[in-house]
Structure 1
Amino acid sequence: MAHEPRVSDELGRRLKAYEGRTAAVSAAGKDPVNAPMIRHWCEAMGDTNPAYTGPDAIAPPTMLQAWTMGGLSGHTARSSAYDELLTLLDESGCTSVVATDCEQEYARPLRPGDEITFDAVIESVSDRKTTKLGTGYFVTTRMDLHVGPDLVGTHRFRILKYAPAHRREGPPREEPEREKPPRPRPVVNRDNAGFWEGVRERRLLIQRCTGCSTLRHPWLPGCATCGHPGWDTVEASGTGQVHSYVVMHHPPFPAFDPPYAVALIELTEGVRMISNVIGVPYEEVRIGMPVRLEFKAYDEELVLPVFRAEEERVAVGGGSRAAR
């Protein structure tokens, strides 16, 4: 016998009314599936799978959402329901948002020339949840993508809209300085558990296909080059360079101190990974900057790989100079 989800508060009841409402109808991708975007994606991801090049190329399946993005101008087919839902949450004090996860299902490969249309629906709104970030609601949207009448894939995207834990009602008042919240923990699953075990041992392990010897990161259950499921690992030398980076200014999260640089590091072994660059101010991070691996303990439980700039800035008589 099916049971209705238990809703614990009046706001929750109002939010639940949005389940099943349309977020977009017959919206069209701004560009057909095309080779330049596929090439940019593969270069950014370091994906050399030959299936994504040549006259019979297909698009990487994980690009599914890329073909639906509306850019700064958005999509004219977007409905008001999703905006209404977010406004209701904002007005209730749930003014912060963090993306939590996404799920994708693939019905058939996409090829250059395919023109995407999609429909989106607000699939679910959770009961009120209390997390380390604060109290709020998980909102899941489902997007179905079509080429002509054919379903080609489904994309589910989930966010948490929450009231920050440190926020209090009423007039501001002086409070004692609070201890900084713990840094969020990485998601460990059966596919990447070996990587995090290596990190705990202060070793950066790279997956290697036992079929064709291709190195890969992030860790995957099978080889994207030859499809072989077998793998072993090699330990990274720890050297590399900044391939690309962004500086995060907003939104601020309680466990972080913006602005800070988030970099895509290209290791000497050829694979790339996202991490932080330490040893220089964020404004001095540059593409091509040589870096070296370190392991940083953020608390008694969490250790993460970070990369120290080979050229650090040190103060000299009120100025600074490069030090190797």
Structure 2
Amino acid sequence: MTHLYEQLKAYEGRAAATSGVGKDLVNEPMIRHWCEAMGDTSPAYEGPQATAPPTMLQAWTMGGLSGHTDRSGAYDELFGLLDGAGYTSVVATDCEQEYLRPLRVGDRVTYDAVIESVSERKTTKLGTGHFVTTRMDVRADGELAGTHRFRILKYAPAAAKPKGNRPRPVINRDNAGFWDGVAEHKLLIQRCEGCRSLRFPWLPGCNECGSQEWDTVESSGAGTVYSYVVMHHPPFPAFDPPYAVGLIELAEGVRMVSNVVGVPPDKVRIGMPVELEFLRVDKELELPVFSALPGGEG
């Protein structure tokens, strides 16, 4: 056992908060806001006789923006020790809750917290550090209502890996024509020769009539953002987060998934007009992406 770990272990069992008091009584407005956010319509959570959803257990102990004054110095000392050893980053990893009795409107919530455990040094994808678990005993009018365990990782970020190549698209007999078009800077859409409906992505047969005969039409490249997500934590070193992935509705009526470029990811909006361009991502690979048109960002 290293000297640092011996120091960290000494904090196990020490109080993180003592005789804490919730800033609000269990109340209808907070329950309503929670249920609206979660989409929970149970009648048990409505009216003056309502109980609070069990998963709100921790909510009644939170200090809000102004914080709490009841946290002990042990927690700050532990974090200072980890910071001094280079474990300067923190991420919440998981929580466990045990429910012993429902919280009811009007209950006064009190709590005590203890530093339950500090792990040995662990190596994760984020970096190397120590897991710290805090246990909080939550009481309602003095009666134990539940237990909340919250675990964080204090870590030193891993060194950035050299940027690699993008994963290669899988090209087969069913979609080879699409990639041949990309090589010629054309975005080709399949068209059924039986019912003349367009389809994307490429398929061996028509979803509408079942015909296996088809030809292609070239997209104009005009489209709009039908939906999108902003990616922050991809598992591949070839990607540079954050970046936007959009579901693009083409002017021809079909939709395709691709990157939205030309604006910061947080400026992408549903309905934003975009146009096709071809982006070379490495020496061997070029991809169709969509660039936001001037004035279309939110």
Per the TM superposition, whether the score is higher than 0.5 is yes
Alpha-carbon distance in 1 for matches of 2:295, 2:65:
40
1:166 aligned residue:
159
In the aligned structure 1, how far is the partner of 2:145 from the partner of 2:111? Answer: 10
Q: Displacement, 1:149?
A: 2.4
| 1:137 corresponding residue in structure 2 | 130
CA change 1:290–1:109 in 2 (3 A) is: farther
Structure-2 separation of matches of 1:90 and 1:46: 39
> Which residue of structure 1 lines up, in the alignment, with residue 292 of structure 2?
314
How far apart are 1:78 and its partner, in Å?
1.0
* Structure 1 residue aligned with 2:92: 99
Q: By how many angstroms is 1:55 displaced?
A: 3.5
Match of 2:52 in 1: 59
Post-superposition Cα deviations, 1:258-294, rounded to whole Å, max 9, x if no partner, equal 6679xxxxxxxxxxxxxxxx747443356xx579xxx
1:101-156 Cα deviation digits (max 9, x unpaired): 00000110001111101000000001111111111100000000112321001000
8 Å CA contact retained: 1:100, 1:159:
yes
Distance 2:58 2:121 in 1: 28
Q: Which has the larger radius of gyration?
A: 2
| Secondary structure of the structure 1 residue equivalent to 2:144 | strand
With over 3 angstroms needed to count, the CA separation of the structure-2 counterparts of 1:117 and 1:95, relative to structure 1, is: same
Structure 1, unpaired ranges of 5+: 1-7, 168-176, 181-239, 262-277, 292-311
Instruction: Provide the residue aligned with 1:89 in structure 2.
Output: 82
> Could you tell me how far 1:165 is from its partner in structure 2?
1.4
Query: How far apart, CA to CA, are the structure 1 residues paired with 2:152 and 2:54?
Result: 22
- Residue 267 of structure 2: which of 252, 262, 284 is its match? 284
Task: Please give the secondary structure, in 2, of the residue aligned with 1:85.
Answer: helix
Q: How many residues align?
A: 204
Shift of 1:91: 0.6
For the 8 Å contact 2:130–2:153, the answer to whether it is kept is yes
CA distance in structure 2 between the aligned counterparts of 1:285 and 1:30, rounded to whole angstroms: 38
| Distance change in 2, residues 1:159/1:32 (3 Å) | same
Matched AA of 1:91: G
Distance 1:27 1:284, change over 3 A: same
Deviations, residues 61-84 of structure 1 (Å, cap 9, x unaligned): 000110000112221111100011
Identity of aligned residues (%): 67
Residue 148, structure 1, aligned to residue 132, structure 2: no
Task: Name the amino acid aligned to 1:283.
Answer: D
How far apart are the structure 2 equivalents of 1:290 and 1:33?
42
1:88 is aligned with what amino acid?
Answer: L
Which secondary structure state, in structure 1, belongs to the residue aligned with residue 125 of structure 2?
coil
Distance 1:321 1:72, change over 3 A: closer
Structure 2 residues not aligned, in runs of 5+: 165-225, 245-258, 273-289
The code of the aligned residue for 2:158 comes to: A
Kept after mapping to 2: 8 A contact 1:133/1:254: no
Q: Describe the shift of the 1:258–1:38 C-alpha distance in structure 2 as closer, same or farther (beyond 3 A).
A: farther
- Alignment RMSD: 3.5
CA deviation after TM superposition for structure 1 residue 321, in Å: 4.0
- Provide the secondary structure at the position in 2 that maps to 1:42: helix
Question: In the alignment, is the contact (CA less than 8 A) between 1:313 and 1:320 conserved in 2?
Answer: no
Taking structure 1 as reference, are residues 241 and 254 closer, same or farther at Cα in structure 2, changes over 3 Å only?
A: closer
Instruction: Give the corresponding residue for 1:116.
Output: 109
> In the alignment, which residue of structure 2 is the partner of 1:71?
64
Deviation at 1:179, TM superposition (A): 3.0
Q: Secondary structure at the match of 2:117?
A: strand
**Pick from 155, 163, 169: which aligns with 1:179?**
163
Partners in 2 of 1:290 and 1:62 — Cα distance?
36
* Whole-Å separation in 1 of the counterparts to 2:243 and 2:21: 36
Change (3 A) 1:51 1:290: farther
Distance 1:111 1:248, change over 3 A: farther
Aligned equivalents of 2:20 and 2:62: distance in 1?
10
Contact 2:109–2:140 at 8 Å: present in 1 too? yes
2:35 to 37, 42, 63: 42
Deviations 1:144-185 (A, max 9, x none): 011232100100000011111118xxxxxxxxx7137xxxxx
